[in-house]
Amino acid sequence: MRSVMVGVLGLGALLVSFAVVFFLWSPTTATSVPTSAPATTTAAAAAVVSAPKATPAASGLSETTGSIGSAPPARLPVSVAAAPACQNPDALGVSRTVEIDTTDGPGFGLETFKQHDFLQPGEIVLTFDDGPWPHNTPAVLAALAANCTKALFFAIGEHSMWAPEILRQVAAAGHTIGSHTWSHKDLAKLSVQDGKDEIEKGISAVRWALGVPPAPFFRFPALSHAPEMVTYLGERNIGIFSTDMDSLDFKIHKPDQVIASVLAKLKKNGKGIVLMHDFQRATAEAAPELLRQLKVNGYKVVFVKAKTTLSTIAAYDDMIVKNVKLPTLSDHPTSSVVRTIPD
């Protein structure tokens, strides 16, 4: 009898594992939005960046390799409701939205790439790396929402699996989500295969956390652009984001200094893709005042979206599944499973 029970339990575990793998493997489709190139965009950039026809007015990160704790719930597609009308008359807002065709892996950010400069004087793109992270990412999201503006987030794979519910909040708020490797390793210091593994595991983890494909956008950790990996991303049709200015908020531990750093560099450059980190507490604390100061100083936010979504590779999806320990059949949100009751 004992051997029969063990056999039944083993078969049950196998069936649960198969169900999880099948869910994550299921294919998705990519959609695009009709576009027309803005008149002010340069000819070289116009082929890559276009504007939709209707546009509404800590210290450095350690390279963690820790194992996943308790299993996050099964991922369901993110439902993004229409954003309510902005209630803040002094909000920074979004000046325009651009759509990027990532075919052959174009690069953006004048610190590294010189071909595609789609920003006009006074325009900025807000970007945040290294999330999702408890407390800090939600604080950044709250500041962005209060200012009715949008940003581009580059999520780390491991962090996405530790805090999938936070990454889903980023998506639900209507921001764009790209990837930032699995564990934030410097790809220039890895073999070509290990570098590919870092990239693809990160993409699969973000896909798993969201329940839908991320944007085909990628940023190298430490902006260390290994040539072989740049080529690989091009073959995968993934757009690469460097930066026009680094806030250096990973070195700055005071919110007022983060604000001063961003404003000083914007004043010097006049525009740009701004690199910050929602992983950093100082940045999270600085966000409300920084966004207010950007508005006061006349800067206009350009929101970046992708023409298509990014398909994952099945073998890497399987690797991600192995990091999800003891999967359950429940897909209910925590708020419906656990609640505080009166004493």
Distance of alpha carbon 72 from alpha carbon 253, whole angstroms: 31
309 pLDDT above the threshold of 60: yes
Distance of alpha carbon 37 from alpha carbon 53, whole angstroms: 9
Check residue 48 and give its pLDDT. Answer: 60
Query: Collapsing DSSP states into helix, strand and coil, what is residue 298?
Result: coil
Tell me the percentage of the chain whose pLDDT exceeds 70: 74
Average the pLDDT over each of 32-41, 104-113, 211-220, 285-294 and give the range with the smallest value.
32-41
Q: Where are the domains of the chain?
A: 48-58+89-329
Mean pLDDT to the nearest integer, 76-91? 66
* pLDDT bracket for residue 247 (50, 70, 90): very high
Query: Collapsing DSSP states into helix, strand and coil, what is residue 279?
Result: coil
Mean pLDDT to the nearest integer, 235-240? 98
Check residue 198 and give its pLDDT. Answer: 98
Q: Which residues contact 28 (CB under 8 A, 6 or more apart)?
A: 212, 213, 309, 311
pLDDT digits 0-9 by tens, 171-203:
999 999 999 999 999 999 999 999 999 999 999
DSSP string, 135-166: THHHHHHHHHHHTT---EEEE-HHHHHH-HHH
Check residue 333 and give its pLDDT. Answer: 74
Distance of alpha carbon 197 from alpha carbon 187, whole angstroms: 10
Instruction: Indicate the CATH number for domain 48-58+89-329.
Output: 3.20.20.370
Distance of alpha carbon 42 from alpha carbon 121, whole angstroms: 13
Check residue 5 and give its pLDDT. Answer: 40
Mean pLDDT to the nearest integer, 253-267? 97
Mean pLDDT to the nearest integer, 61-83? 41
- Give the pair of three-digit tokens for residue 91: 């909000």
Check residue 12 and give its pLDDT. Answer: 46
Distance of alpha carbon 253 from alpha carbon 259, whole angstroms: 11
pLDDT digits 0-9 by tens, 6-61:
343 344 444 434 343 333 333 333 332 232 333 333 444 444 665 443 333 332 34
Check residue 330 and give its pLDDT. Answer: 74
The pTM is what?
0.76
Check residue 325 and give its pLDDT. Answer: 65
